[in-house]
Amino acid sequence: MTVKKVTFADIARYTNFSKTTISRYFNNPNSLTEKNRQIISDALIKLDYHENKLAKVLAQGSTEFIGIIIPNLYLHYYSAILENILNSYQEYNYKFLVFVGHEDINTERQYIKELLSYNIEGLIILSHTIPSEELASYKIPIVSIERESCYISSVDTDNYLGAVQATSHLIKNKCDILVHINSLPKEDMPAFNRITGFEEVCQDSDIPYLIYNKDLGATHENISKNLSHMLDDLEEKYPYETKGIFLANDTYASVFLNLIIRKFGELPDKYQIVGFDDSPIATESIVPLTTIQQKIPTLTQYAMEILSQEIYARKNKLSSEIVHREVPPVLVKRETTH
């Protein structure tokens, strides 16, 4: 399984050109005649020569590498973002070195050090735990997604708008009581605005509202147990009212829906449910979920645009501004609301 590497010397010997001529073929082809280019090109095929881009990019100083650090690939939101970023190869031709950071600050630091030693041209980091001030200190083009980003460029869903869309939809559908369920997002995270948006729309209306904001746990079992207590609490406090429930993501919404159906055998009219994300579970749940769709292709497209502009600016020693872009989400109406 070993393969002999073909060198410039081999090509020179085969074609009777000098090694300098062979080098010019790769680095300045227009300095050769059409005829000589053809001779060398034929020889490369005959000799089964493989281009060594590494040597070339090293000489030119641009590796075309972008580093990606992502917390996990278990959540569909992350794997969908990663897939979209990787697909951008067809447009930008960047190659991606990918690491799973597990939301651990020292793991993230170790990976950034490794990536820097491979001369990456830029970094995309999702839901990072390293403060953005420290990330900025690495002095490379960086775009963050869905976390605190005071000192670096970022792309986020407009979470406030999403919450406004969900809550207004439940109000329009004449719910008697509005409920938001969330799991203690930090106040400097973009997702915290799902709570703010819900609360402000409720306060503008005259409809009573309730927020359950507690740690729901990381396992399906714990999430299910916690949501079951909330369902019991709602049934006790508001047995006859129409309850409009906006949950922080589709996974919670689907678990909550399953609990209702296991209790009543169907989804009764007195429950209306809106999720967040439009992940696959939203269509695959037992009753298709009304939800707030995050525009993942747009998020990743903006991230790549901002990053490639910063890379261009850095190469050409231009200054570049920190950019924050928000992507408006969309209400997708399915069968858990009227």
Q: Where does this chain bind a second copy (CB under 8 A)?
A: 1-3, 50-55, 58, 63, 72-74, 76, 79-80, 82-83, 86-87, 89, 95-100, 114, 116-119, 139-141, 220, 251, 254-255, 258, 261-262, 265-266, 280-281, 283-286, 310, 313-314, 317, 319-320
Q: Which is nearer to a second copy, 232 or 284 (CB)?
A: 284
- Amino acid, single-letter form, for residue 101: G
Taking the complex as a whole, the smallest distance from the CB of residue 85 to a second copy amounts, in Å, to: 10
Please, which residue, 85 or 195, has the CB nearer to a second copy? 85
Burial class (CB in 10 A: 0-12, 13-18, 19+), 93: exposed
CB 217 within 8 A of CB 186: no
Would you call 60 helix, strand, or coil by DSSP?
A: helix
Closer residue to a second copy in complex, CB, 204/312: 312
Report which residue type is found at 126. Answer: L
Shortest CB 58 distance to a second copy, Å: 6
DSSP string, 72-95: -SSSHHHHHHHHHHHHTHHHH--E
**In this structure, are residues 267 and 261 in contact, taking their beta carbons and an 8 Å threshold?**
yes
CB of 157 to a second copy, least distance (A): 19
In the complex, the smallest distance separating the C-beta of residue 219 from a second copy, rounded to whole angstroms, is 9
CB 290 within 8 A of CB 337: yes
CB of 86 to a second copy, least distance (A): 5
Measured in whole angstroms, the distance separating CA 260 from the mean position of its chain's CA atoms is 31
Q: What is the rounded CA–CA span in Å between residue 28 and residue 231?
A: 71
DSSP state of 126: E
Nearer to a second copy, 178 or 255 (CB): 255
In Å, what is the CA distance from 307 to each residue of 47, 121, 192, 302? 39, 9, 25, 8
Least distance to a second copy from the beta carbon of 33, Å? Answer: 26
Residue among 148 and 310 whose Cβ is closer to a second copy? 310
Closest CB to a second copy among residues 16, 90 = 90
Rounded Cα–Cα distance for residues 172 and 31 (Å): 71
